[in-house]
Amino acid sequence: IKDKVGTDRTPTMQDKCQLTYLNAVIHETQRMASIVPLSVTHMCSEEVALKGYTLPKGTFLLPNLDSVLHDKSTWGDDAMSFRPERFIDDNGKLVIPEQFIPFSIGRRVCLGEALAKMELFLFLSSMFQRFQF
């Protein structure tokens, strides 16, 4: 942060694209410590066949986001380890897999997602800029 932003000003959203590792840390934190492990309840509007199971019309579904965010087939055998590098490709660019869904997906995605992401970035970039942990 000090290399990219310096210490004479507070980080802004315009700095976000330059702070790849911080963005990876934020994503890994959201993946590991989801504050909402279950998504909003959904209901089948028609009968659905899924992997050998039949879900009748009217069935309520409660998606488990934690199971997706900790799935070893997506995140690797170290899925329960904090490793921000999993969000950075070989070229040093931020990569966000489609399985990264801490705010849920679709029409029922968290309305505060954009605000939460902005606040997390601004708060953490300022904290890491000014303090040593």
110 is in an annotated binding site: yes
The Cα 40–Cα 34 span in angstroms is: 14
β partners of residue 60: 43
Three-class SS state of 51 = coil
Q: What are phi and psi of 122, to 5 degrees?
A: -65, -45
Q: Which residues are annotated as a binding site for heme?
A: 110
Q: Which residues are annotated as a binding site?
A: 110
